[in-house]
Amino acid sequence: MRPVAINRVFVLFLLALALFVFGNGLITLTDPDEAFYCLTAHEMSVKNEWLTPLIFGQPQFEKPPLVYWLLEAAFKTWGESPFTARLFPAAFAALGVMAVYFLGLMGFKDERKAFLSAMVLASCGFYAGMGKLVFTDMIFTVLILCAMAMFVLGFVDQSRKGLGTIGFYVFAALATLAKTPLAFLVLQAAVILFLLYRRQMNFLMNWWTVTGISLYVIIALPWYAYIYHQYGQAFIDEFFKRDHWRRLLTAEHRGNDHLYFYPLTMMAGIFPWSLFLVASWVDLFKRLKSTVSLMDYLCLSWLIAVLAVFEFAHSKLTSYILPLFPAMALMTGNYLGDLLFRIQQRKTLENLLFASFGLTAVLGIAAVVAAGLKKFHPYVPSMGPVFFLSGSLITLSGIGISVVLKERYQTAMYVLALSLLPVFMTAFMVSNQLQGYVSSREASEYVPPRAWGAMTVLTSKTNARGIRYYTGQNVAVLDFTGKPFFSPHPIPILDTNEKVLNALEKQPWTIGVVRKSAYQDIVKNFGGKYHVALLKVIGMDYVIRVEPLKHL
């Protein structure tokens, strides 16, 4: 393995700090996913429960426990806050950048390519964004990446074959505890494809593989066995049938169920390196019959294995293919390194840099303006100057950098990697005014905490978990659409007038955090018996107080 460049490791550390950690406490936990994971960890922590995930006071089996363990540990050590909740995803995102660097050192045997690959991963928009959110996907992705890095360690250095093989299966087991047993399938498929390409299947035919698989079983299976022993068919039905098999056959989000969804996600997600990724694929296609390297085989196997598992499932989410991004970053870094090395291809690099800076400028201003106009339209009059200023700065800097950095390729790479910062800074500037659209934190202030007395709060599906997390109160979801939660929740679903009336009659007065249509339905259908007071409109939520007229 090539020697580590300490100065470049320091650059990667600073880049990770700026992109993954800075500002993580400025925006409250978002609905519905961040609230979901934090609510589960909170309820487990309150009951000092480490094995059975809980939500709304009942067991839930949507995900294995590793991420909840990390959240519990963070909450017990540093207290509950948005910053501590996002601490481990950010730490794993930074670990992933370093893992790509060291994997590149082993595979490319070229420190510059390793550094470029790590820089691409750290600064691609989707990876940077996921590093700032409480999801299982970042932790799962980095564990997949670490498993692949351990495999490469054992493959390229026969003296460390045992360490690499065992490490591969240990990280596969941790990935299985982070999200899904499909981790083993993806990793094993990628390795087998790679060895088939290389015609070296005998690499797995040894006792190290047997030992590694045994360790996988010892680490990954006990939790699954315990939960099955405790809950039996309920666990099988939710975890395997609903959250795995059903997602294969049924689209949770029908608009995503297209074969082009993941390819477009890959292209958009690696921005601002999208053009370089395309160029790297074109270059690899040209080299397929001549100079295909070990890392080419590895990245191709990695891409094929992940897409083979997720592409043909009908439930598609952008986060599902986050494990592809380290492989794409390695392919892009490999191509960039070759361009910098080949003097005759410097013109190609210059053109790609110029086009990328221009594309960054155009999409940067389009993103901030679209955010203001489409989703956060009530704030456009007051925030318009901010959108205009930040968009103008991105545009001017993109055009200016394209001209000034002509032929200063290494510096241009640094600047392009940091081009996401203006967009992030714009988000921070407007976060306090816009977070009502993505979080239940402000609405929860109108709900009395459980310490004042138990009550049931009417909510929408989106913020049911957030209201529960911030207030501790029971919730009932008001929903007449006939579309229940994709994974059932142990809470009442009020989908008829009779159910709503029954819920209102059980308590002297009721707080609701609902959407506009639900608020209008309550006024229309129950206005004759109840006084419906609109307390506040926060984002798309209407905070209401419903009280019988006879009490007034």
3-state secondary structure 38-58: HHHHHHHHHCCCCCCCEECCE
Q: Write the CB contacts of 161 (distance below 8 Å, at least 6 apart in sequence).
A: 154, 155, 206, 208
The predicted structure's pLDDT at residue 43: 93
How far apart are alpha carbons 394 and 388 in whole angstroms? 10
What angle do helix axes 66-78 and 87-108 make, rounded to 10 degrees? 120
pLDDT tens string 235-280: 998 888 888 787 777 767 677 777 888 888 888 888 888 888 888 8
Residue in the block written with tokens 């992030």? 424
pLDDT tens string 306-362: 998 888 877 878 888 999 999 999 999 998 888 777 655 666 766 676 677 666 666
pLDDT tens string 485-532: 767 788 888 888 888 889 888 888 999 999 888 888 888 888 788 889
Q: Is the pLDDT of residue 7 over 50?
A: yes
Question: In terms of Cα–Cα distance, which of 41, 43, 68 is closest to 136?
Answer: 68
How far apart are alpha carbons 383 and 372 in whole angstroms? 8
How far apart are alpha carbons 335 and 155 in whole angstroms? 23
pLDDT band at 39 (very low <50, low <70, confident <90, very high): very high
Domain segments of the chain as ranges: 6-341, 347-432, 441-551
> Which of 55-64, 139-148, 204-213, 266-275 comes out lowest in average pLDDT?
266-275
Q: Is the pLDDT of residue 390 over 80?
A: no
Element at 392 (helix H, strand E): helix 380-404
End-to-end CA distance of the chain: 78
Q: Is the pLDDT of residue 382 over 50?
A: no
Residue in the block written with tokens 């190290």? 208
Q: Write the CB contacts of 281 (distance below 8 Å, at least 6 apart in sequence).
A: 331
Task: Tell me the CA distances in angstroms from 551 to 25, 506, 529, 531, one per residue in order.
Answer: 42, 14, 11, 9
pLDDT tens string 72-129: 999 999 999 999 999 999 999 999 999 999 999 999 988 889 999 998 999 888 898 8
The predicted structure's pLDDT at residue 369: 60
Give the pair of three-digit tokens for residue 380: 């456009």
Q: Is the pLDDT of residue 377 over 50?
A: no
From the CB of residue 233, how many other CB atoms can be counted at a distance below 10 Å? 9
Give the DSSP letter string of 398-463.
HHHHHHHTTT-HHHHHHHHHTTTHHHHHHHHHHHHHHGGGT-SHHHHTTSPPGGG---EEEE-TTT
CATH number of 441-551: 3.30.110
The predicted structure's pLDDT at residue 350: 66
pTM value is 0.89
pLDDT band at 302 (very low <50, low <70, confident <90, very high): very high
Are 96 and 121 within 8 A, CB to CB? yes
> Which of 43-47, 127-131, 386-390, 438-442 comes out lowest in average pLDDT?
386-390
Q: Is the pLDDT of residue 413 over 80?
A: no
Q: Is the pLDDT of residue 188 over 90?
A: yes
State phi, psi for 453 to the nearest 5 degrees. Answer: 140, 145
The predicted structure's pLDDT at residue 379: 43
Residue 439 is which amino acid? S
